[in-house]
Amino acid sequence: MTERTVVVAAALLDAGRLLAARRSAPPELAGRWELPGGKVEPGERPEAALVRELREELGVDTEAVERVPGEWPLRAPYVLQVWTARLRPGSAAPAPLQDHDELRWLAPGEIWDVPWLDQDVPAVRETLTRLGTR
Ligand code: CDP
């Protein structure tokens, strides 16, 4: 039986805005927006995977803050989990180094202005719910 593989994604927040990243690949996902992240490697803690993926994909130095409750199915065997995250002091600004061709910091009223990946929509919605109730 195939084990599931966790994909971690970041709700990276700065000054009350959420970072959205537009995918440049693969072709079936290109042009859609996501919470940046990637697959957790065997033996890796999800928070460590998040920090690693954000460094690789965006060139930023971040820390995971807290898990957004929930888990969303992707194409098997992948499942999506989300952590809020923040830039550490002295981090570079995010840049689209791989997988993405555009980044946007979305203010609360702009969150639904971009075409998110279908599978990210419930995760983004839950993230906003959590932020709004804190
Ligand atoms: O960088 P890595 O190869 O580890 O992962 P990825 O290719 O960025 O993401 C792994 C899978 O999760 C892909 O199929 C992405 O489409 C999916 N994913 C997603 O659906 N939503 C996200 N926010 C991040 C990744």
Could you give the CA distance from residue 97 to residue 115 in angstroms, rounded to a whole number? 21
Ligand 1: atom nearest CA of 29 is 16
Task: Give the sign of the dihedral formed by CA 42, CA 47, CA 51, CA 57.
Answer: positive
Ligand 1: atom nearest CA of 34 is 23
Could you give the CA distance from residue 87 to residue 14 in angstroms, rounded to a whole number? 7
What pLDDT sits at residue 134? Answer: 54
Q: What ipTM goes with this model?
A: 0.92
Q: Ligand 1, from 7, 24, 56, 79: best to mutate by most atoms within 8 Å of Cβ?
A: 7
Question: What tokens were used for 32?
Answer: 């859609």
Q: Of 72, 77, 74, 86, which Cα lies nearest the Cα of 125?
A: 72
Report whether 36 contacts 125 (CB < 8 A). Answer: no
Q: Are strands 5-14 and 78-87 parallel, antiparallel or unpaired?
A: parallel
* Residue 106 pLDDT grade (very low, low, confident, very high; cuts 50, 70, 90): very high
The pTM of this model reads 0.94
| Rounded percentage of the chain residues whose pLDDT exceeds 70 | 97
Q: Ligand 1, from 74, 83, 99: best to mutate by most atoms within 8 Å of Cβ?
A: 74
Ligand 1 center from residue 133 Cα (angstroms): 28
pLDDT tens for each residue of 23-66: 999 999 999 999 999 999 999 999 999 999 999 999 999 999 99
What pLDDT sits at residue 3? Answer: 82
